[in-house]
Amino acid sequence: MNITYCKDFQEMSLKATSLVLEELETRSDLLLCAATGASPEGLYRELAATTERESKVFSQLRIIKLDEWGGIPEMHPVTCEYFLRNKLLTPLHISPDRYISFHSSPENPEEECRRISTLLEKQGPIDICILGLGANGHLALNEPGPQLQAKAHVAELSEKSLQHAMIASMENLPGYGLTLGMEEILNSRKIIMLVSGPGKKEIADKFLEGKVSNELPASHLWKHPNVECLLDQSLLD
């Protein structure tokens, strides 16, 4: 794992942007797995600014959504879908045929997860996976526990996850999560882990110990051969 301490959020976002653009130079149709939340927001803003200068740079880019809050209408403002459409898909002009996405309120959540896994098997593996560090060490919505699931699955959300800023103000919280599994994430050719945000210092320190445990799902990234871990030092001091 290559660990880079950035002086602030902007430096972290710019570094992540340069890593993505570098990969795009060698493969224009790469598959990018996109996380949501505050940590990758600066990266997506920089990518949107790039397409204003170079309109063709993302013309073949493919995107897969990392996870989703379950049981919420798809275009509700708290969904990952809403976030990605506004921050990434629309600014980068990603067409529907270049986007793989969990539906946020499917009739059959388990079948929806099987659909995503099948699409990923056909179109993957992921070339670049953008990740953030969960407040309890979760990776996507792979929550701490005795066992972690390999493939996309319906996740029981922890109390920590239900306090996530995206959904904390909701009167009726999501009933479950939909997420890519650990094997699907770890099969990514390159992973960019963004560590930022208030209250993350303690879990970041545990992650940086390098001890792999299912009780800290993000620690499994230490087993991956190509991880760029970027830390926003200003929020971790």
Condensed to tens digits (0 to 9), the pLDDT of residues 73-102 reads 888 888 999 999 999 999 999 999 999 999
* pLDDT tens profile 15-46: 999 999 999 999 999 999 999 999 999 999 99
Q: Strands 62-65 and 99-100: what pairing?
A: parallel
What is the distance in angstroms between the CA of the first residue and the CA of the last residue of the chain?
A: 21
- pLDDT score for 162: 58
For residues 88-121, one letter each, b for 16 or more C-beta atoms within 10 angstroms of the residue's C-beta and e for the rest, the string is bbebbebeeebbbbbbbbbeebeebbebbbeebe
Q: Which residues are catalytic?
A: 67, 136, 138, 143
Contact, 142 vs 155, CB < 8 A?
A: yes
pLDDT band at 52 (very low <50, low <70, confident <90, very high): confident
Section 196-204 average pLDDT: 86
pLDDT digits (tens, 9 = 90+) for 162-174: 566 666 566 666 7
**Which domains, ranges and CATH numbers included, belong to the chain?**
11-132+148-186 (3.40.50.1360)
Q: pLDDT per residue over 149-162, tens digit each?
A: 999 999 988 777 75
pTM: 0.93
| Choice among 22-31, 59-68, 179-188, 198-207 with the minimum mean pLDDT | 198-207
